[in-house]
């Protein structure tokens, strides 16, 4: 079945650096979403980008979507130690169900 796959699986950077995470999927979608999960907690929605959008910003977050390559990227600029978390992309089926399929996530560690 269709699945978003994040890359890399783990990323370690210094505070102040930018962090880029990528997501690839297999079939057409209506939208792609990014979520954040702190250890042992529920997921928090970050941003939703629709299939007819190419780029979206929210604060220090920048998301791009390339439907021709079936890929998306999440950029966190000027990272902070508090950004340490796992980040997941989620795609829908592209049909009428609308249920989300989550990837395995990228574990981001930002060192002070």
Partner 1 sequence: SQTIHQWPATLVQPVGSPLSLECTVEGTSNPNLYWYRQAAGRGLQLLFYSVGIGQISSEVPQNLSASRPQDRQFILSSKKLLLSDSGFYLCAWSKQIYNEQFFGPGTRLTVL
**Binding interface with partner 1 (CB under 8 A):** 30-31, 33, 40-45, 48, 88, 90, 92, 96-105
Q: Alpha-carbon distance 32 to 80, whole Å?
A: 25
CB of 14 closer than 8 Å to CB of 111: yes
Q: Alpha-carbon distance 19 to 78, whole Å?
A: 8
For 29, phi then psi, to 5°, come to: -135, 165
Shortest reach from residue 90's CB to partner 1, in Å: 8
Shortest reach from residue 32's CB to partner 1, in Å: 11
Shortest reach from residue 39's CB to partner 1, in Å: 11
| Angle, CA of 72, 76 and 82, to the nearest 5° | 130
Q: Which is nearer to partner 1, 15 or 67 (CB)?
A: 67
Q: Which is nearer to partner 1, 15 or 61 (CB)?
A: 61
Q: Which is nearer to partner 1, 15 or 56 (CB)?
A: 56
Q: Which is nearer to partner 1, 9 or 18 (CB)?
A: 9
Q: Which of 36, 64, 70 is nearest to 49 (CA)?
A: 64
């Amino acid at each position: 079945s269709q699945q978003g796959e994040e890359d890399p699986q783990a990323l370690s950077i210094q505070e102040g650096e930018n962090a880029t995470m990528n997501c690839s999927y297999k079939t057409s979608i209506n939208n792609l979403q990014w979520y954040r999960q702190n250890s042992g907690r529920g997921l928090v929605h970050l941003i939703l980008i629709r299939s007819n959008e190419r780029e979206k910003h929210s604060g220090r977050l920048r998301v791009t979507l390339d439907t021709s390559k079936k890929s998306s990227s999440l950029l966190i600029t000027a990272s902070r130690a508090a950004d340490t978390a796992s980040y997941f992309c989620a795609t829908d089926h592209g049909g009428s169900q609308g249920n989300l399929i989550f990837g395995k996530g990228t574990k981001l560690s930002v060192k002070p």
